[in-house]
Amino acid sequence: MAHADQLETRVAELSGLLTQVLALQEAERRAVTHRLQEDIGQSLTAFALKLRVLERNCDPELCVELVRELRQLTASTLHDLDQLQRQLYPLALDSQGMVAAVEVYIQEYSRLAQIQVELDAEVPHYRLSRERELALFRMVQDALEHLHQQACASEVRIRLRFIKNFTYLVIEDNGAGEVSGWRTTLIASRAEALGGRCAISALPDGGSRFEIALPMSEKESQ
C-alpha cells in the first residue's frame, strides 16, 4: 500500500515537472516570436520600403532591376519570418483565442502540406486558461505535423466540443502511416499534464483517431 502511495506521489511530481517544462518552453517561444517581430521584422520592413523608394527614383535600367530583385528577396524573407513566428507561437491565440489560432494555422498548413483539413469547432462561452488553449493548439499542431511527416493522409477532420466539465478534441485522418511516434507521445503527455487523457487508435478502414479529453475549471465549464 505504501509503495502504491509512493508511486502515485512520484507520478504526480513528474506530471507537475512536465507541466513546468512545457510552460517554460511556451514562454521561450513567445519571447523569441516577439523578438523576431519587433527587431528583425521591423528592420526588414523598413529596408523593403527604402528599396521601393530607391526603385522609383532610380533611372538606370540595371539599378532598377537590381533593386527589384532585392525587394523580392526582402518580401520572401518577410514571408518566411512570418511563417516562423506562426510556428513558434500563434499570435492570434492571445488576441482572438484558440479556435481562431487553429483556423489560421490550418489554412497555412493545408496550403503547404496539400492536405484537406475540416475543422468543426464549438466556440466556448468563456476563454479557456492560457495553459489549456496552448495545449489544445499544440496538440492539433503536433497531430497535423505527424501526419505531414508520415506523408500518408490527404484528409483530416478535427472536432472540438465542450460538454459538461470536459473539453473533447477528436482528430481523424484517412492515412496509412504509423500511429505511434515522438509527436504522438508528446500529445499524450500534454493531455496527462493537465489531468486529461489521450487515446490514439487505428481506424478499421485505415487512418488514425486521436481522442483527447481535458477537464475544465469551474469558471471554464460555466
92-215 architecture in CATH?
Answer: 2-Layer Sandwich (3.30)
Tell me whether residue 201 is exposed, middle or buried, using C-beta atoms within 10 angstroms of its C-beta: 0 to 12, 13 to 18, 19 or more: exposed
| Residues in Cβ contact with 70 at an 8 Å cutoff, skipping those fewer than 6 apart | 51
Q: Look at 140 and 123; give whichever has higher pLDDT.
A: 140
User: How sure is the predictor about 29, in pLDDT bands with cuts at 50, 70 and 90?
Assistant: low
Q: What is the pLDDT of residue 213?
A: 95
Q: What is the pLDDT of residue 210?
A: 93
User: How sure is the predictor about 160, in pLDDT bands with cuts at 50, 70 and 90?
Assistant: very high
Q: What is the pLDDT of residue 36?
A: 63
pLDDT at residue 38 above 70? no
Domain ranges of the chain: 2-88, 92-215
- Average pLDDT (94-123) is 90
Q: How far apart are CA 62 and CA 68, in angstroms?
A: 10
Q: Look up the pTM and report it.
A: 0.66
Strands 208-215 and 197-202, by their bridges, are antiparallel
- Average pLDDT (185-194) is 86
Sign of CA dihedral 55, 60, 66, 72: positive
Q: Look at 164 and 197; give whichever has higher pLDDT.
A: 197
